[in-house]
Amino acid sequence: MKLPYAEPYKIKMVESIKRSTPEQRKKWIKEAHYNLFNLSSDKVYIDLLTDSGTGAMSDKQWGALMEADESYAGSQSFLKLKETVQKITGFKYFLPTHQGRAAENVLFSVLVKEGDIVPGNSHFDTTKGHIEFRKATAIDCTIDEAFDTENMHPFKGNIDLKKLQKVFDENPVEKIPFVIITITNNSSGGQPVSMENVKAVSKICKKNKVPLLFDSARFAENAYFVKMREKGYQKKSIKEIAKKMFSFGDGMTMSSKKDGLVNMGGFIALNDEEIFKKATVFNIMYEGFITYGGMSGRDMAALAVGLDEATEFDYLESRIKQVTYLGNKLIEYNVPVQHPIGGHAIFIDANKFVPTIPRDEYRAQALAIELYIIGGIRGVEIGTVLADRDPFTRKNRYPELELVRLAIPRRTYTHNHMEYIAAVLKNIYDSRAEAKSGYRIIDEAPIMRHFTVKFEKI
């Protein structure tokens, strides 16, 4: 018999989670104006809102917390982290920030001006927010295969080189401050980008003398997929693959709350000294002195260990196989999910699941609410609500995909939780014909509305 995979760790401490009934949850979600971000966490049984900062640290990371150095300047924990970042990414310069969007804020303050154009592969919402806030435009150059949830392309995060070339052909190069590749491509389903694609994008960037940046939140998961799916990398270690990928770029922003295996933190890493110097000024203004940048010494210490653990094959295999296990269970139950299963989350295709709910009634949001009421499971809408309004016309932008994302926190839930989630979804799927109407927005913020938007039931 072929042996199944099993986790390369055992549990040393447990945290209780509260169960509740559908009747209680119906009342709670109404009080939260049907926005899952508004729920207090004790009203959630299994929290799949995000895999950001929700993972479990290892005993080694907790140990590192105790030994950390809280000096304002020149902290030993900073030096340790800097050394680890340089070892893993190969970039020369390093600036800690309090999380990923802070890294974007600092770096884009240097690089992005009004009227600029930033091509990339489905920019993450905070990335797009920081571009649009500066009155610049993010252009999505992701390959078309990414928008077909049945397509089995192994690297659906890839950039379409023709689309990218078109951006360069149609715009003065001074208007393009950089190209940004998100690894893995979060917004289009946790889908990886191939080494070959990065190499080709880097070539276009070099030809035009435009820097290539990585939005690296899940770079280790991306490296795992390269190892498993791309020819020539089977024998390479995750660390070798990650470093090679970064070698094609000029810098990166990082949300350490993902593949840093910590609950808070971020950083910028760069090769260009001039950009680094300018960024330090913004770092000091927005984040803190350059040897802590919004992080405690203990957080930096835990991150140094976390980055090392996150780039080990055994950890990544158990992480990604748990996500795949849930995905395969759902496929077995005929629930429409995005294929192939991505690295950090399952994406349920709401266009296929509840086509009976009109798009302007936020069908993916409606499905996410149902999942909460029936199972106490908190996912998140990745569809029209998240896509927000066009900054110029103020009309809803309807993305090609209406998804509900179930993000799996790292090293946190067990196989039984996966079984439970799959069963809840099967039950909802079996009664989907009854779903006819969704929700209407009654209040929203001018930018990044999904965090605070209020709905009422139609």
Please list the active-site residues.
Answer: 72, 124-125, 215, 217, 258, 450
Q: Is the peptide bond before 89 cis (omega within 30 degrees of 0)?
A: no
Which CB, 266 or 376, lies closer to ligand PLP?
266
126 binds ligand PLP (CB under 6 A): yes
Which CB, 181 or 348, lies closer to ligand PLP?
181
Sorted by sequence, the CB contacts under 8 Å of residue 32 that are 6+ apart come out as: 38, 39
Which residue's structure tokens are 């303050």?
109
78, 93, 124, 267: which one binds ligand PLP (CB under 6 A): 124
127 binds ligand PLP (CB under 6 A): yes
257, 298, 319, 417: which one binds ligand PLP (CB under 6 A): 257
Q: How many residues bind ligand PLP (CB under 6 A)?
A: 15
**Is residue 456 within a helix (H) or strand (E), and if so which, with residue range?**
strand 454-457
80, 101, 378, 450: which one binds ligand PLP (CB under 6 A): 101
107 binds ligand PLP (CB under 6 A): no
- Report residue 217 CA to chain centroid gap: 6
- What is the closest distance, in whole angstroms, from the C-beta atom of residue 120 to ligand PLP in the complex? 10
255 binds ligand PLP (CB under 6 A): yes
217 binds ligand PLP (CB under 6 A): yes
Which CB, 189 or 376, lies closer to ligand PLP?
189
**Paired tokens of 28:** 């709670």
What string of DSSP letters covers 238-300? HHHHHHHHHHTSSEEEEETTTTT-SSS-EEEEES-HHHHHHHHHHHHHHT--TTTTT--HHHH
Which CB, 80 or 258, lies closer to ligand PLP?
258
Point out which span in 36-44, 94-102, 269-277, 353-361 binds ligand PLP (CB under 6 A).
94-102
Sorted by sequence, the CB contacts under 8 Å of residue 413 that are 6+ apart come out as: 46, 322
Footprint on residues 356-385 left by ligand PLP (CB under 6 A): none
77, 89, 99, 311: which one binds ligand PLP (CB under 6 A): 99
Q: How far apart are CA 199 and CA 220, in angstroms?
A: 18
96, 100, 327, 375: which one binds ligand PLP (CB under 6 A): 100
- What is the closest distance, in whole angstroms, from the C-beta atom of residue 254 to ligand PLP in the complex? 8
52 binds ligand PLP (CB under 6 A): yes
97 binds ligand PLP (CB under 6 A): no
- Reading phi first (left if > 0) and then psi (alpha if -120 to 50, else beta), residue 272 is in beta
Report the residue number whose CB is nearest to ligand PLP: 100
Point out which span in 93-101, 168-176, 242-250, 432-440 binds ligand PLP (CB under 6 A).
93-101
119, 266, 297, 379: which one binds ligand PLP (CB under 6 A): 266
186 binds ligand PLP (CB under 6 A): yes
Q: Which residues of 6-26 are buried (b: 16+ CB within 10 A; e: fewer)?
A: ebeeeeeeeeeeeeeeeeebe
Return the closest-CA partner of residue 407 out of 368, 370, 350. 368
Which CB, 128 or 363, lies closer to ligand PLP?
128
Q: Do residues 439 and 457 lie in contact, with contact meaning Cβ atoms separated by under 8 Å? A: yes
Point out which span in 75-83, 99-107, 231-239, 286-294 binds ligand PLP (CB under 6 A).
99-107
Count CB neighbours of 167 within 10 A.
Answer: 18
Q: Quick one: how many helices (H) and strands (E) in the chain? A: 16, 14
Q: How far apart are CA 352 and CA 44, in angstroms?
A: 26
Q: Do residues 373 and 24 lie in contact, with contact meaning Cβ atoms separated by under 8 Å? A: no
**Cα Rg of the chain (Å, integer):** 21
Point out which span in 14-22, 54-62, 119-127, 350-358 binds ligand PLP (CB under 6 A).
119-127
List interacting residues with ligand PLP (CB under 6 A): 52, 99-101, 124, 126-127, 182, 186, 215, 217, 255, 257-258, 266
